[in-house]
Amino acid sequence: MQNVSLVRVSCRKEKEIMEAISKATELIDFRLEQTPRSIVLKPNLCYYWDHSTGCTTDPVFIRSVIDWVRSEISAAADITIAEADATAMRTRYAFKILGYEEIALEKGVRLLNLSTDRTRKITMNRSGKRFEFKLSQTLEKADFIINLPKLKRWSPTKISCALKNIFGANAFVNKVVYHNSLDEVIADINTIIKPHLNIVDGIIAMPALDEPFRFGVIVAGLDPVAVDCVVARILGLDPRSIKHILLSAEKGAGRLDYSVVGESIKSISELFPSEYRTSNLLHNLKSSVSKRFMGMLLKAYEGIVGQLE
Amino acid sequence: MVVKIGLIGIGSIGKFHLRHSLQLPGAELVAVADVSRGARKYAQNHGAPKVYESFKEMLSNEDLDAVVISLPHFLHCPVATFCAEAGKDILLEKPLATTIHEGKEIVEAAKQNKVKLMVNYHLRFNKTMNYFKEVIDDGRIGSIATMSAEWVGGGPFEHTMKPIPEWYFDVKKVGGGALIDWGGHIIDLSTYFFGKQPSVLYSCIRSRLRLPFEDEAILILEFNTGTRVIIHVGWFSQIARKNVTLWGTVRAISWEDYIEKTDYIKAFRNIIRKLRGRQVMPLFEFGLSHLKALEHFINCVSAGKEPSITGDDALEDLKIISKAYKISKRF
């Protein structure tokens, strides 16, 4: 059974966040047998919207992680912040717009666009479907990978956290091609890219779709499946109802059983105003019904009249 | 007279012009030109009779009366001047150009070659804005002390399934940020409402995005009528919202109060129109005002009249924008 820690952080300041990270990693009894020389940090930079939207990993959180790495893991380690291009997002602009270029300069770390790195092509066959991934050599050769996802709801996979953030490390750009089999692909990639540590940025979380909330929580764990199970519970969801978590566990990317240390799930989930929990339930119900109905109407309209304008 | 038109550029707005030019009874779409293979394929699949990679080849091969140019801002000058020299009337997407110098070049080329030049500030063709113009001119809400206008959203950063075109990250190619792009619409609307040559009382811009152009601008214009216009535009918000409020000495009116909800009745009417072989109308105000603008241009070309937004008007708008940039405080 994997430990997953929950720690509260009262403000968005480097020092306080670093202390919370130290506490969260101590609680899971994080220890290294060998000091890594190359460390890759994988934030979630899914688009150009900044941390205040709850979409992307907070640059202040990244600064704290770097300070923690320098103090607790290795002062001399080569640290790389790595992200891959996505269908609509270009990493070089995301690094600039979201303040990561400033972090790199100040903290002496490297920024890497995984999509421009040397890559290895990996092909996987799953129930008759063929998926291709591109694995960055930097990521493959890294001594230590720290996964730094957000804590958020995301409609295609219900939640987007540790496992989904690793999907974003696939160097292949046009990721929209995976979206019909997203759960399977997330699970597959998590069997290839295995983070050594997951620290979730829940400083500003997204408890409902497109609804950021100043949450002030850090979640840490060694196992991305266990971390996602805890995050699902915090968001009021049963982890076993989330397909990519189940598939990842089945494929050996982690375990579904976990033990929570630090704050309890109940005390953390109560930080969200109750309307978020209700609105999630209602929203899911309404959106699935209305999406299907509107989709049918739209198809019929476009079939007769042409493009909606 | 049916106006034979060619479209240059089938990007996001070019697609609107493609659909509309196929619908308008006074227009005959002859061909489209775009350097992108994907855009040409889209045009072919959506009814374009001919497609070209080069607009120059299209101009030399086809017998066109007019062209509609929807290209990245930095291409407006070279392409529009070439078309003017080829004797084609021009509907050009806003802004006129990235600099005043280039704007003057386009206007001069149109005058020298005696072709019509209209810049597509389509808000002038918006139903509510036309009503506001009447209200202002008739004095129905008193005299207008102030107009406030807000247009904030994602702009080019709106999250779609496509990456933002590279040229949008190059300030020389865009000519600026939210001010020249969305602000230009409001500035043009203000000059439509209150007359020309306002003074720029205040301007401040900033870039939260750490890019070399502004993603937010606030400016105050003062017109000879005494009306002051407060403009706030931005590209920093995920969900777009826009509004125009006229603060009269009797009462205030706001665009938001007049925006028609796109309803099922409109959609149903379109289905009936389509089945009867009649022209389908856009369901949303944005599409409708583009359609009206193109229709106005086609009618002007057909009747030999000057369009209601000339190159000179757009050059005036560009001068106001340029002055706002010059005096702007960065915050």
User: Both tokens of residue B322?
Assistant: 């340029």
φ, ψ for residue A35, nearest 5 deg: -80, 120
Distance CA B37, CA B43 (A): 10
Burial track A233-243 (b if 16+ CB lie within 10 A, e otherwise)? bbbbbebeebe
Distance CA A247, CA A241 (A): 11
Q: Is residue B146 within a helix (H) or strand (E), and if so which, with residue range? A: strand B144-152
Q: Is residue B274 part of a domain?
A: no
How far does the CA of residue A50 sit from the closest CA of chain B (Å)?
Answer: 9
Which among B19, B211, B238 is the nearest to A49, CB-wise?
A: B238
* CATH number of domain containing B289: 3.40.50.720
| pLDDT value for A279 | 56
pLDDT tens for chain B, residues 1 to 331: 899 999 999 998 999 999 999 989 999 999 999 999 999 999 999 999 999 999 999 999 999 999 999 999 999 999 999 999 999 999 999 999 999 999 999 999 999 999 999 999 999 999 999 999 999 999 999 999 999 999 999 999 888 878 999 999 999 999 999 999 999 999 999 999 999 999 999 999 999 888 889 999 999 999 999 999 999 999 999 989 999 999 999 999 999 888 776 667 777 788 888 888 877 777 777 888 999 999 999 999 999 999 999 999 999 999 999 999 999 876 5
Cα dihedral B120, B121, B123, B129 in deg (nearest 10): -120
Distance CA B210, CA A110 (A): 19
Q: Is residue B45 part of a domain?
A: yes
User: Both tokens of residue A214?
Assistant: 């100043």
Are B99 and B155 within one domain? no
Query: Are B246 and B252 a contacting pair, CB within 8 Å?
Result: yes
> In chain B, what residues touch A89 (CB-CB under 8 Å)?
163
| pLDDT value for B31 | 98
User: Both tokens of residue B250?
Assistant: 């009797």
User: Both tokens of residue A282?
Assistant: 């209602």
| Rg of the Cα atoms in chain B | 20
For residue range B215-224, what is the model confidence (pLDDT) as tens digits?
A: 999 999 999 9
> In chain B, what residues touch A96 (CB-CB under 8 Å)?
210-211
Question: Tell me, what DSSP letter sits at residue B306?
Answer: P
Mapped onto helix, strand or coil, the DSSP state of residue A219 is: strand
A76 touches chain B (CB under 8 A): no
Which among A88, A96, A99 is the nearest to B162, CB-wise?
A: A88
CATH architecture of A2-271: 3-Layer(aba) Sandwich (3.40)
Are B207 and B175 within one domain? yes
A293 touches chain B (CB under 8 A): no
Q: Which residue of B122, B157, B207 to mutate against A (max A Cβ within 10 Å)?
A: B157
| pLDDT value for B200 | 97
Instruction: Spell out which chain B residues touch chain A, with contact meaning CB-CB distance below 8 angstroms.
Output: 16, 19, 46, 157, 159-164, 169, 208-211, 238-239, 267, 270-271, 274-275, 280, 282-284, 287
Query: Are A28 and A259 a contacting pair, CB within 8 Å?
Result: no
ipTM for this prediction: 0.85
For residue range A23-37, what is the model confidence (pLDDT) as tens digits?
A: 999 999 999 989 999
φ, ψ for residue A260, nearest 5 deg: -90, 130
* CATH number of domain containing B240: 3.30.360.10
Are B160 and B185 within one domain? yes
Give me the helix-helix angle, B100-112 and B311-327, nearest 10°: 170
Are B102 and B139 within one domain? no
Are B177 and B318 within one domain? yes
User: Both tokens of residue B137?
Assistant: 């001119």
> Which residues are bridge partners to A125 per DSSP?
A130
Measuring CA to CA, which residue among A109, A196, A188, A98 is closest to residue A147? A196
Q: Which residue of A49, A111, A180, A305 to mutate against B (max B Cβ within 10 Å)?
A: A305
Q: How many domains does the structure of chain B reveal?
A: 2
Are B318 and B246 within one domain? yes
Are B42 and B100 within one domain? yes
User: Both tokens of residue A56?
Assistant: 């992307």
Which among B16, B160, B209 is the nearest to A97, CB-wise?
A: B209
φ, ψ for residue B124, nearest 5 deg: -65, -15
Structural domain boundaries, residue B292: 3-120+284-306
Q: Is residue B75 part of a domain?
A: yes
Please indicate whether, in this complex, the C-beta atoms of B210 and A53 are within 8 angstroms of each other.
no
Q: Which residue of B18, B122, B159, B213 to mutate against A (max A Cβ within 10 Å)?
A: B159
> In chain B, what residues touch A210 (CB-CB under 8 Å)?
238-239
Beta strands in chain A (DSSP E): 2-8, 38-43, 78-83, 110-113, 119-126, 129-136, 144-148, 150-154, 158-160, 197-208, 211-221, 258-262
Residues lower than pLDDT 70 in chain A: 127, 277-288
| pLDDT value for B258 | 84
Are B213 and B235 within one domain? yes
For residue A8, give every residue at least 6 positions away whose Cβ sits within 8 Å of its Cβ, in sequence order, or none: A20, A216, A217, A218, A263, A268
Query: Are A169 and A130 a contacting pair, CB within 8 Å?
Result: no
User: Both tokens of residue A283?
Assistant: 């929203």
| Rg of the Cα atoms in chain A | 19
Please indicate whether, in this complex, the C-beta atoms of B271 and A53 are within 8 angstroms of each other.
no
Query: Are B32 and B10 a contacting pair, CB within 8 Å?
Result: yes
Q: Which residue of B170, B210, B276, B285 to mutate against A (max A Cβ within 10 Å)?
A: B210
A294 touches chain B (CB under 8 A): no
Measuring CA to CA, which residue among A175, A226, A134 is closest to residue A46? A175
Q: Is residue B151 part of a domain?
A: yes
A72 touches chain B (CB under 8 A): no
Are B224 and B85 within one domain? no
State which amino acid sits at residue A194.
Answer: K
Which among A96, A304, A309 is the nearest to B274, CB-wise?
A: A304
Are B11 and B93 within one domain? yes
Are B211 and B78 within one domain? no
> Which residues are bridge partners to B69 per DSSP?
B8, B92
Are B240 and B291 within one domain? no
| pLDDT value for B75 | 98
| pLDDT value for A280 | 60
Which among A87, A176, A308 is the nearest to B283, CB-wise?
A: A308
| pLDDT value for B303 | 96
| pLDDT value for B275 | 83
Q: Is residue B79 part of a domain?
A: yes
Q: pTM for the whole thing? A: 0.89
